[in-house]
């Protein structure tokens, strides 16, 4: 994979050059042959992690991963350095950035963060009917359309409304977008409703779903054209999707769902190369049950599409909604569909819970609770590694989340009153 055509701020960026200059000794493989290197294992030797290589070597059965740990213990630094090093080895990435903390990472490599909300350009989350498996494309499009329109309508859709959505999607053909779907719904309403309801349809019965599509278009989250905006930038390198304007609102889960759908659609359409998708503060997606169920299905399908998801959160307890429950057998849980888990320092109770979840000895929990900053326990497949992560001097600037905590005393004295 070659990114030689891409430009950084000052010079052409080539993956081989970047690996040699940016990583400064971290471009090699570890003792098992994996790269990029991330640090040193306390069990001996360098430590590297690449979910695609691990899957190819049959060391894991899936590429999805979780990162846990207290604030300030090194989660963000690990994620940022990992994505930078994966890019240096030719793997593009997308970051769902809920708080605007990843701008320095993408800008270092010459890529501007994207905010579909402020730019009012939106994404086209639909899979082209001509992309590979047509039946799968239709199923994914129907599922997404129902989820998004129900969200906009603030209620579950009726059987007639879901039938109308499915028929409108078929009528869109290759020109598939929310704008085109809205026009087809208006035409169905004018012509007597969806085929299965002819003779029993009252004009105006689709008014709510038509209005729902309009609300989605007005939100700026979805594109008004079938071209969309994410496919053209997905493989450019490191794409930061800044969703800070909607983080903490009801729109956030929908926004993440739409972006992940657009990534999935691009992979189904082209399958250009494997891509890493990092989702920070993943706990925030537990607020919308339907979006959560959609996310679980997306998680399962990712492996077959060449997507390695990396979810970041503080505590395992944050993810209680991801766990299977007796009254919701469809909720299989993202944890069950992930095979790599990274544990930075946690308090004793959370560390014990982590060990209980993954069948680890209580002594491991004690070790996790005492880890210093930048150190973590890695569990992938049946392997366990205690790793000290190392950052280059360049990465220290990119990964710094504590700059505001280090006000120079001299600057403070210069501005403080006598």
- Please give the pLDDT value at position 22: 42
Encode pLDDT of 275-291 as tens digits: 999 999 998 987 778 88
- Please give the pLDDT value at position 43: 84
Residue 161 pLDDT exceeds 60 = yes
User: Per-residue pLDDT averaged across 128-135, rounded?
Assistant: 74
Encode pLDDT of 2-33 as tens digits: 222 222 222 222 333 333 344 444 444 544 55
Q: Who wins on pLDDT, 322 or 234?
A: 234
- Please give the pLDDT value at position 267: 87
User: Per-residue pLDDT averaged across 51-59, rounded?
Assistant: 90
pTM: predicted TM-score of the whole model, two decimal places: 0.84
Distance CA 123, CA 256 (A): 11
Q: How confident is the model at residue 331 (pLDDT cuts 50, 70, 90)?
A: very low
Residue 340 pLDDT exceeds 80 = yes
- Please give the pLDDT value at position 230: 66
- Spatial CB neighbours of 320, under 8 Å, sequence gap ≥ 6: 286
**Percentage of the chain exceeding pLDDT 90:** 46
User: Per-residue pLDDT averaged across 60-74, rounded?
Assistant: 92
Q: In terms of Cα–Cα distance, which of 187, 185, 195, 237 is closest to 216?
A: 185
- Please give the pLDDT value at position 330: 33
User: Per-residue pLDDT averaged across 318-329, rounded?
Assistant: 54
Q: In terms of Cα–Cα distance, which of 25, 31, 27 is closest to 14?
A: 27
- Please give the pLDDT value at position 220: 84
Q: How confident is the model at residue 202 (pLDDT cuts 50, 70, 90)?
A: confident
Encode pLDDT of 354-401 as tens digits: 999 888 999 999 999 999 999 999 998 888 899 999 888 888 878 766
- Spatial CB neighbours of 182, under 8 Å, sequence gap ≥ 6: 210, 213, 214, 217
Q: How confident is the model at residue 201 (pLDDT cuts 50, 70, 90)?
A: confident
């Amino acid at each position: 994979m070659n990114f030689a055509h891409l430009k950084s701020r000052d010079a052409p960026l080539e993956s081989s050059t970047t690996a040699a200059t940016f990583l400064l000794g971290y471009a090699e493989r570890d003792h098992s042959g994996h790269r990029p290197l991330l640090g040193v294992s306390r069990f001996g030797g360098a430590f590297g992690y690449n979910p695609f290589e691990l899957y190819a070597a049959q060391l894991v059965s899936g590429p999805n991963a979780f990162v846990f740990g207290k604030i300030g213990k090194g989660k963000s630094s690990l994620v940022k350095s990992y994505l930078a090093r994966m890019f240096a080895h030719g793997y593009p990435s997308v970051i769902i950035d809920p708080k605007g903390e990843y701008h320095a990472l993408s800008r270092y490599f010459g890529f501007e963060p994207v905010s579909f909300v402020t730019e009012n350009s939106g994404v086209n989350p639909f899979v082209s009917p001509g992309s590979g498996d047509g039946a799968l494309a239709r199923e994914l499009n129907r599922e997404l359309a129902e989820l998004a329109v129900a969200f906009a309508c603030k209620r579950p859709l009726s059987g007639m409304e879901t039938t109308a959505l499915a028929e409108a999607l078929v009528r869109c053909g290759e020109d598939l977008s929310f704008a085109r779907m809205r026009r087809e719904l208006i035409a169905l309403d004018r012509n007597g409703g969806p085929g299965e309801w002819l003779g029993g349809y009252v004009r105006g019965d689709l008014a709510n779903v038509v209005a729902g599509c309009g609300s989605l278009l007005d939100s700026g989250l979805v594109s008004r054209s079938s071209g969309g905006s994410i496919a053209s930038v997905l493989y450019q390198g490191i794409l930061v999707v800044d969703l800070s304007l909607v983080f903490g609102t009801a729109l956030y889960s929908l926004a993440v769902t739409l972006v992940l759908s657009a990534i999935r659609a691009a992979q189904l359409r082209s399958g250009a190369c494997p891509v890493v998708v990092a989702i920070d503060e993943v706990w925030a997606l537990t607020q919308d049950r339907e979006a959560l169920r959609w996310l679980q299905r997306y998680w399962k399908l990712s492996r077959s599409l060449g997507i390695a998801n990396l979810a970041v959160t503080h505590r395992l307890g944050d993810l209680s909604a991801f766990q299977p429950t007796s009254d919701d057998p469809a909720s299989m849980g993202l944890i069950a569909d992930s095979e790599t888990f990274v544990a930075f320092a946690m308090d004793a109770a959370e560390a014990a819970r982590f060990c209980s979840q993954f069948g680890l000895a209580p002594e491991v929990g004690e070790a996790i609770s005492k880890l210093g900053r930048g150190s973590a326990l890695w569990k992938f497949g049946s392997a366990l590694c205690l790793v000290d992560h190392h950052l280059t001097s360049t990465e220290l600037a990119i990964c710094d989340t504590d700059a505001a905590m280090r006000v120079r005393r001299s600057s403070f004295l210069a501005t403080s009153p006598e």
